[in-house]
Structure 1
Amino acid sequence: LNQLHHNINRQLKPLTDLYRILCHNRSRQRRNLCKVLNDWDLLQEEAEHIDKELQKLTHEEPIMTDEGDSYSFHLSSWVYHTKLELLEDIFFLGFELELYGTHEFVMIYWYIDYLLGVHYQHLERTHMHITDIKYKDQHGSYRSTSSPASSVSLLVSQQMMMMAKQDICRGIHRTISALQKTGHVISPQLEFDDESTRFLHRFRICRTLGSPTILSYKDFKEMTQFDNVTALELINASLQNFQAARSSIESLLAMEPLELKMDFCHVNFTKELRDMLRVCIANIVNLHKIIEEYKPMLDPNNAKESDIITTSKPILDPNNDQESSDTTTSRKQQKKKQKSKKPLRKDNKIVNFEFKYHPWYTVITLK
């Protein structure tokens, strides 16, 4: 019990610091959240130790799962939940503060997609333990008791929110990947940088944490390799993601404030949900427009040679005898650079990102 009281007292300072940080502007919020994230990681480790002691004191009976025995870990589960929220906010705030280049969007949204999936699984495990509370009676046998309805509804709403966020992020990075295949995404030619270095830089904060598991650049390349998937199939998958997110958000909007546990901030929470809903609807409409306009081109088996050009400018002929040797060399280099570019469509449109409805989720158009 002394260890429990000590752990609770230890949680007071990080929690107080967190509320203090949330009173700052967005730039300071992100910077300070990065600083306190390790404190929550250490706190989780201490809470796990206390949870194990509580399991012995209460003679907790584990729940049998496919992965083995599962214990509740009440304290550390809450700390881990909070730590994941902070980690997600740090990456999301990067969009709001315009810290990422557009060529990094696939990487960032893909990693947030992974974090939200981990968070959803954690909430699902917590939900399993909340709905299967057991206590030891005076005869030494275990009996089940019903969990508070408010706790269950809160977890359900949090899970739905995670699903909505994950579907939006997945829809965005799949859409960008599809438009990369069609040549509508133009990546900058960086001389002193490469994608693997940027990956290590962007997610270096995760390397200092004990959990969740850090993903590598190799994982990113393997999981975003769509060589055997057409652009049309990717766009259709993105449509399903945005439609699923829309359904989850509409379900959340239909819930009562008491169910959401948002009595004092329901107006702001509803506004955020409506902004996310507008992002989903806008992306659904834009994707339908892209499919309607480019459907013959989205499938490479149906694309004609006249539908694709290698560059928006004519390639100079390096074999012109009237040109000097220096000019010829220069033109050869220019031709080599042009060949290395991804193909553009005849309309010469490129992808455009607009954060006009929500600062964290972009609306994708072609302009």
Structure 2
Amino acid sequence: MFYQALLLITRRDSQSGADCVALLNGCSEMMKVITRTVGKGTQPLENSDSPNPIGFEPMINQRLLPPTFPRYTRIKPRAEALQYFDELVTRLRHAWKITSATNFHTALDFFMEFSRQRACILSRSALQLLYLSPSPASTASMAQAAANTPAGQQRPQHVFMDILRESVKSFVNPPNVSMKAAVGTNPPTREFVENFLTRCIRPFAVLVQVCGHNRARQRDKLALLLDDFAALQDEAESVDALVSGAAGTVLRPYFTTWILYHVLRVMIAYLLSGLELELYSVHEYHYIFWYLYEFLYGWLVSALGRADGLAGEVRKSDAKKSGARKLKKRTRPYAREGLMCQVMQNMCGGYYKALVAFKLQGKIRQPQSEFDNEAVRYKHRFAPLSVLTPPQVHYHEFLELTQPLQYENPVILYLGGCKHFQQARSLLETISVPDNEVTDLLKVAKTNFVVLKLLAGGHKKDSTVPPEFDFSVHRHFPIIK
């Protein structure tokens, strides 16, 4: 049943999907019976293969592996092996939910959340095949070949191109995508837009592929992916200029906003992954949180607001042309995401001000000056962001912008951090149906608010014991102890 389910994953028809779900459900039911009866029958002796020897040689493929240090291969006991298979089936059943993703943005969120759970490579690969067949890697390769097609020859169509077209339409609703009749009246504009979307296939397919890697590998790949998005940003500006000119309107940054949104998400994911993987020292936290607070999350909120405004303009224009008397109340599909971005921005602001206060009170250990150069560390941490728009904030600009806080009273900074955590808490409490992410952030915000309130009141004022940052509740935003 399990192997049958794996074979059906790559098929796109609805009947295969229903059969695959039924097979996985059957596997889950069978695993319950197998787990209950594992204690029956002959039991293996400790540190021995008898009385039921394994039916294969564990080291048979040793010579086929790449040369590495010898690794001891340990076969799991029965109970652990059955638990692992049960969890694998559960992960595959959860991965199947990607088939109900309504748009590309929702699918990306699902991919990132799935990889956060440290799923195995089999379930991560199955997830990618369920969303995009052929696989994202094959799609990226085919897109690269299509980009080299000589002028005049028809380029092959990709399913992923339709996904990206719908993504643009749902995000900013540009007239050249939502109104095919208008596009048809201007073939050069249509061809220009199609060529742009064709060149978008490879970077976005690679982005989906990157989401299938483990977290450490993701960070390396995200840094390389930013170079590809930099080229798309330049081309998006040209597309917007041509589309606006063909429509006879002032310049509207439809495609620029769409690309900027994804660029900012990749930037934020890159910086936050350093916290999750524990790559930053505590004395580096302040400029990481400062960059997220002052720039990246602010720009992301602005991009979402601009996209909402652009989509609204097109809908109003379409309503006027069709003679509609009354516009229906427009839903805001990215209202929750915008709210969560404001929450994250306030969380980062609270950490930044708390860290500066800790530094002023000597509570954070600093590296010895002869072995340290903060400018070099800063440049190294933000180097992958230097090729993109919005432009990187350089170290000398960071010093100029943060200099006033270096002479601030720590109590004022603690109170400022309290306000940020309180604001984050207030925004989170407005969410009517909180998920695990919201619940965890709410716990962190409440706890940190209380801690900073105590510190502002003089608690442990003379202590030089460094604070602890506990990431057990949330992977990116720690509880301050």
TM-score scaled by structure 1?
Answer: 0.72
The question of whether the paired residues in 1 share the 8 Å contact of 2:292 and 2:348 is answered with: yes
1:72 alignment partner AA: R
Quote the offset at 1:145 in angstroms: 8.5
Q: Which has the higher contact order (CA 8 A, sep 6+)?
A: 1
1:200 alignment partner AA: K
Residue matched to 2:228: 39
Mark the CA change 1:159 to 1:199 in structure 2 (over 3 Å): closer, same or farther.
same
SS at 1:233 equivalent = helix
Residue matched to 1:205: 384
Does 1:289 pair with 2:460? no
Mark the CA change 1:203 to 1:348 in structure 2 (over 3 Å): closer, same or farther.
closer
Does 1:27 pair with 2:229? no
Does 1:176 pair with 2:355? yes
Residue matched to 2:203: 14
The question of whether the paired residues in 2 share the 8 Å contact of 1:132 and 1:147 is answered with: no
Q: How do 1:208-247 residues align onto structure 2 when only pairs under 5 Å count? A: 208-209=387-388, 211-225=389-403, 226-247=405-426
The question of whether the paired residues in 2 share the 8 Å contact of 1:72 and 1:126 is answered with: no
Distance in 1 between the 2:320 and 2:212 partners?
Answer: 49
Distance in 2 between the 1:132 and 1:233 partners?
Answer: 43
Deviates more, 1:45-54 or 1:129-138: 129-138
Quote the offset at 1:277 in angstroms: 1.4
Q: How do 1:74-113 residues align onto structure 2 when only pairs under 5 Å count? A: 74-113=254-293
Superposed CA deviations along residues 233-253 of structure 1, whole A, max 9, x for unmatched, are 1111101100111122222x3
SS at 1:224 equivalent = helix
SS at 2:422 equivalent = helix
Question: Root-mean-square deviation (CA), in Å?
Answer: 2.6
2:474 alignment partner AA: H
1:218 alignment partner AA: H
The share of aligned pairs that are identical, in percent, is 27
- Aligned partner (choices 55, 67, 72) of residue 252 of structure 2: 72
Does 1:132 pair with 2:313? yes
1:184 alignment partner AA: K
Distance in 2 between the 1:51 and 1:236 partners?
Answer: 45
Distance in 2 between the 1:47 and 1:33 partners?
Answer: 20
Residue matched to 2:165: none
The question of whether the paired residues in 2 share the 8 Å contact of 1:172 and 1:362 is answered with: no
Distance in 1 between the 2:296 and 2:196 partners?
Answer: 26
The question of whether the paired residues in 1 share the 8 Å contact of 2:360 and 2:406 is answered with: no
- Structure 2: which 5+ residue stretches go unaligned? 1-189
Mark the CA change 1:137 to 1:282 in structure 2 (over 3 Å): closer, same or farther.
closer
2:395 alignment partner AA: Y
Distance in 1 between the 2:465 and 2:194 partners?
Answer: 62
Higher strand share: 1
Distance in 1 between the 2:258 and 2:411 partners?
Answer: 41
TM-score scaled by structure 2?
Answer: 0.56
Does 1:4 pair with 2:193? yes
Distance in 2 between the 1:174 and 1:3 partners?
Answer: 47
Quote the offset at 1:149 in angstroms: 2.8
Q: How many matched pairs?
A: 289
Distance in 2 between the 1:236 and 1:222 partners?
Answer: 23
Higher helix share: 2
- Structure 1: which 5+ residue stretches go unaligned? 63-70, 256-268, 298-344
The question of whether the paired residues in 2 share the 8 Å contact of 1:132 and 1:146 is answered with: no
Distance in 2 between the 1:148 and 1:275 partners?
Answer: 33
Quote the offset at 1:278 in angstroms: 1.5
Does 1:358 pair with 2:474? yes
Distance in 1 between the 2:288 and 2:326 partners?
Answer: 43
Mark the CA change 1:31 to 1:148 in structure 2 (over 3 Å): closer, same or farther.
farther
Distance in 2 between the 1:112 and 1:348 partners?
Answer: 28
